């Protein structure tokens, strides 16, 4: 794993915006092609194998949580538990998720799993691929995200009827871009689709149905909006009352995997597993550790300790649901830059990576997205239909 200096392409902003990537510099530089990360095939195989195995471990984790009645650890209200169980037992489909991994060239460790509302999908799938084609057309990339999204939507078409899906999010540019990309993949696979802002989804109390702006009953809804917010908003009661006449994606069982509470549960299930970091619901004997809220985003309210002394912390509005304590993993240090690998699972398969890089030890919303390539002796051109 190497960090290699490069040059910004001429008119790079215009090229990104032509691809519909409008938040490359929204709050300072986000897309950063002044350098890139280079991996060997052996390193990519390690990341891919770890991603596939962690996904299977997480699926076992859902069964374990339900079987052991660990709902309180996840702050799941009693009224919503059967809804989660039904979505799991009926195998409601999950489209995607992103494992955030620490990788030092040798060891792969799970930092957390963005299982419910992961972003940076579009830049991982499309934007870094176009960068590669222009800059290094004879190199490859660990990136079959687009193909796997298309294939999985095509697969789901056999089981979903009608073939009409509403795609919904808040109206900020990042969420809309990611959702519109997912919508485009579903459209290419043969679905009819429509975007609706999350706040415009209506509720018809008399018939207990979710309705769109023209009062059409919504049977399939993909939402980029966290389940914990849905529960805080009091909207979870409406999902329960609707009794799955509207089916939501991601499914309700993904709330268990998106919570940081899954990390100590996995450690309990698979103690000393090589892909896991020691993790508990209390500090125990940890001296070098990270304290994370059970629910949080973009590194909010995360604190990092070395020898039981806080060395870095982020402010935020999270933490009221409790914390977990995870053994510190020393991210590789490239001249004061610390990369975290976002490894994507699409359907049931490892699909590719995107890299977020920060000058801080805690990755936050100021972190940059950096492209990558694979150093291979093989001259190999991969075709990608977009």
User: 309-313 and 323-327: which strand pairing?
Assistant: unpaired
- 13 burial level (CB within 10 Å; 0-12, 13-18, 19+): middle
Contact 254, 227 (CB under 8 A): yes
DSSP tally for the chain: helices H, then strands E: 11, 19
Q: Which residues of the chain register pLDDT less than 50? A: 378-386
How are beta strands 2-5 and 35-40 bridged, if at all? antiparallel
Q: Indicate the helix (H) or strand (E) that contains 150.
A: helix 145-157
pLDDT of residue 80: 97
CA distances from 71 to 249, 276, 320 (A): 21, 22, 16
- The residues near 145 (Cβ < 8 Å, ≥ 6 apart) are 121, 124, 125, 344, 346, 351, 352
User: Which pLDDT tens digit goes with each residue over 109-158?
Assistant: 999 999 999 999 999 999 999 999 999 999 999 999 999 999 999 999 99
CB 342 within 8 A of CB 119: no
0.85 exceeded by pTM: yes
Report the alpha-carbon distance of residue 218 to residue 299 in Å, rounded: 34
Nearest residue to 180 via CA among 163, 165, 168? 168
pLDDT for 304 equals 86
Asked if residue 373 lies in contact with residue 141, where contact means CB atoms within 8 angstroms, the answer is: yes
3-state secondary structure 330-375: CCCCECCEEEEEEEEEECCEEEEEEEEEECCCCCCCCCEEECEEEE
- 196-223 pLDDT per residue, tens: 999 999 999 999 999 999 999 999 999 9
Closest CA to 221 of 95, 332, 343: 95
**Whole-number Å distance between alpha carbons of 138 and 160:** 39
């Amino acid at each position: 794993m190497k960090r290699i200096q490069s040059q910004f392409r001429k008119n790079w902003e215009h090229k990104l915006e032509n691809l519909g990537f409008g938040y490359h510099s929204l709050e300072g530089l986000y897309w950063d092609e002044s350098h890139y990360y280079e991996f060997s095939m052996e390193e990519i195989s390690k990341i891919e194998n770890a991603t596939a195995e962690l996904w299977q471990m997480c699926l076992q984790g859902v069964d374990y949580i339900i079987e052991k009645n660990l709902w309180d650890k996840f702050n799941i209200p009693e009224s919503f538990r059967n809804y989660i169980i039904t979505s799991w037992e009926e195998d409601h489909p999950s489209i995607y998720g992103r494992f955030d991994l620490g990788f030092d060239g040798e060891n792969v460790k799970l930092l957390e799993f963005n299982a419910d509302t992961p972003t940076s999908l579009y830049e991982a799938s499309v934007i870094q691929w176009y960068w590669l084609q222009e800059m290094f057309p004879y190199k490859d990339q660990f990136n079959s995200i687009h193909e796997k999204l298309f294939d999985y939507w095509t697969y789901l078409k056999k089981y979903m009827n009608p073939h009409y899906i509403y795609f919904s999010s808040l109206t900020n540019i990042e969420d809309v871009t990611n959702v519109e990309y997912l919508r485009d993949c579903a459209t290419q696979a043969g679905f009819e689709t429509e975007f609706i802002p999350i706040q415009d989804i209506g509720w018809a109390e008399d018939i207990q149905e979710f309705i769109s702006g023209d009062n059409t009953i919504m049977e399939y809804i993909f939402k980029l909006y966290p389940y914990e917010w849905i529960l805080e908003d009091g909207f979870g009661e409406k999902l329960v009352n609707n009794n799955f006449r509207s089916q939501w994606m991601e499914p309700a069982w993904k709330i268990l995997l998106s919570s940081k509470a899954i990390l100590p549960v996995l450690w309990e299930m698979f103690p000393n597993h090589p892909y896991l970091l020691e993790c508990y619901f209390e500090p125990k004997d940890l001296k070098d550790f990270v304290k994370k809220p059970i629910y949080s985003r973009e590194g909010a309210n995360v604190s990092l300790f070395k020898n039981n002394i806080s060395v870095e912390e982020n402010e935020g509005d999270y933490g009221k649901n409790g914390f977990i304590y995870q053994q510190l993993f020393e991210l590789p240090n490239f001249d004061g830059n610390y990369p975290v690998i976002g490894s994507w699972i699409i359907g049931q398969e490892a699909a590719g990576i995107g890299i977020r890089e920060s000058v801080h030890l805690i990755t936050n919303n100021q972190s940059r997205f950096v492209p990558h390539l694979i150093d291979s002796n093989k001259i190999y051109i991969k075709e990608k239909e977009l």
